[in-house]
A and B are shown apart, each in its own frame.
Chain A
Amino acid sequence: MAMAGSGKHRLHLSSLFLALVILFMYLPVVMVVIYSFNNSKSDVVWAGFTLDWYAKLLHNTSLMDALLNSLILAVCSCAVSAVIGTVGAVGIVRCDLRTKGLLENASMLPIMIPEIILGMVFLAFFSLLGLPFGMVTLILAHTTFCIPYIFIVVKGRLSGIDRSIGEAARDLGASEARMFFDITLPLIMPAVASGTLLAFAMSLDDVVISFFVTGAQTNTLPIKIYSQIKLGVSPEINALCTLMLGGTFLLILVSRRIGAVKRTGKRRSAPRGEGDL
């Protein structure tokens, strides 16, 4: 082709650009990891390798409590939202209620509007209801913004499924429940899993909404980290962050593995959605 020469040159420049942006993205992450092994409290100078911060972290009960709280919170809200979101998505694809469009838009609102508004709205609403701020309010709030993630991923997968499979099962005499558990659910399982994983990550990551709905007694990990790094340097936080990064990488690797198995097992699973996030 006429532009082959210049095209090759451009590819080089573009690769350089891609590499630079990736470097920018990973720079702060790498810093956190490096300094978690630094044997000095004032970060700048490298004072030798140490694992002290990790040891100290293990004995930091308030951080460990916050971690436990965050895990309980994420598991509970994801479990509830996985059920509501999945069942809701299956239902909404099949029904032709007049309010369907409205419901779909309304249920997406929690991830469309800025988090801070959701936080403020919950704060006001929960105090109106007189709910004690703590784990219960946290779970309710997190469930609200976890549902849309699962709902949307499952709904996307459902639109790619041949409806006649279900019709066939119905014609052959399967009950609604049987059709759901034997046909629909296995088909959408990868989407349910990736949606839930996404929601799980969002729940573990959330600062803004938790900040408003948590009580004085209950700290989630991001809130604890927020208040600690606001106060200043604490190498224990470096260590904790490094561990969290490791956990995230592991989670992504595992989910990729599952995705890869699913993808080769069935010729083409979800074309979009799973790969995107």
Chain B
Amino acid sequence: MKLSQKRPRRDHTAFFMVLPLYVFTLIFVFFPLLYILGMSFLKKDVLWGVTNELTLDNYRMLFDPVYLKTFFDSLKLAFATTAITTLVGYPFGYFMGKLPPKRRGGLMLLVVVPFWTNALVRIYGWMIILRTKGVLNGLLLGLGVIDRPVKILYTYGAVLIGMVYSLLPFMILPVYSSVEKMDWSLVEASRDLGANAAEAFFTVTLKLTLPGVLSGFVLVFVPSIGLFFLSDLLGGGKIMLVGNLIKNQLLEARNWPFGAALSVVMMAMTLLIIGLYRKVTHSKDLEGFF
């Protein structure tokens, strides 16, 4: 065939086109990750940096109750965030997908705009609202619900609000994308066969939109472990995430190998979650994103 004759030459050009990407990925993604992996097995130098001595101490340190607690708290917050964003984001994505196409576009724009705006700006908005002398307390005082300002900012609740708020679009968009693609005739068929609305929803709709929900889980859960600035700003540095721990180890405690070990564990967790997602949905890409 003509096409197969041309293959070798085309491959040649294609190879040179991929080359920059190859080299860049190798130097700035592959090597650094490998370096961190290696570093996590090295002994910390007295001041900072590493020695050449091999050790498993950095991983052993992870089982120190203090750090275990941080891991546990961070995971708890991540689960809570994922649960709430699902409870709010699923119906949102679902209803949005059922709107007439014209209104859908407008709503999509409304959801996406905050996504494009600076995360810090939005967090700052929450700080204005939640501060002890802030808008929410002012409102509650004015309404007579409370008679003394309540401390909301710099609490666990504030961090949770910020997390849910920041990550909600990452649940809405994939759910919406799978609802939009859904074949509604299947739901109708199940209704015709005698299923009631709830049965139809749980046996058909939920199953068909599951890739969207799972993709949302990944997109919410993974970043929620690392958003250290969020817990810094809304939690006042009292709520420690794994992200804060890594940051502290690097910039304050100057224990790079331990920071590296933390990163390796977090990275392994992330890859595990993405791997599970791919296995369950048999799809390579995250639904609704790319």
Contact = CB atoms under 8 A, between A and B. Distances in A.
B121 A241 contact: yes
Contacts of B120: 207, 222, 225-226, 229
B124 A21 contact: no
B270 to A, nearest CB: 5
A249 B112 CA distance: 11
Contacts of A207: 119-120, 229
Contacts of A96: 11
Interface hub of A106, A116, A121 (most chain B Cβ within 10 A): A116
* Most chain B C-beta atoms within 10 Å of own C-beta, residue among A125, A156, A222: A125
Interface in B83-137: 88, 91-92, 95-96, 98, 107-129, 131, 133-135
Interface residues of B, number: 89
Interface in B1-43: 3, 6, 10-11, 13-22, 24-25, 28-33, 35-36, 39
A123 interface: yes
A117 B113 CA distance: 27
Given A25-B114, A116-B228, A116-B246, 10 more contacts: A14-B95, A17-B91, A32-B122, A94-B13, A114-B225, A114-B267, A144-B28, A205-B118, A225-B121, A248-B118
Interface of B: 3, 6, 10-11, 13-22, 24-25, 28-33, 35-36, 39, 88, 91-92, 95-96, 98, 107-129, 131, 133-135, 138, 165, 168, 173, 177, 197, 222-223, 225-229, 232-233, 243, 246-247, 250, 256, 259-260, 263, 266-267, 270-271, 274, 288-290
23 contacts: A18-B95, A21-B92, A22-B107, A24-B165, A25-B110, A25-B111, A29-B125, A43-B131, A84-B21, A84-B24, A91-B17, A94-B10, A95-B18, A115-B223, A117-B246, A117-B270, A120-B36, A121-B263, A125-B31, A128-B35, A151-B21, A156-B290, A244-B121
Interface of A: 3, 14-15, 17-18, 21-22, 24-32, 35, 42-44, 83-85, 87-88, 90-92, 94-97, 103, 106-107, 109-110, 112-117, 120-125, 128, 140, 143-144, 147, 151-153, 156, 167, 170, 176, 201, 204-205, 207-208, 211-212, 222, 225-226, 229-230, 237-238, 241, 244-245, 248-249, 251-252, 256, 272-273, 275-277
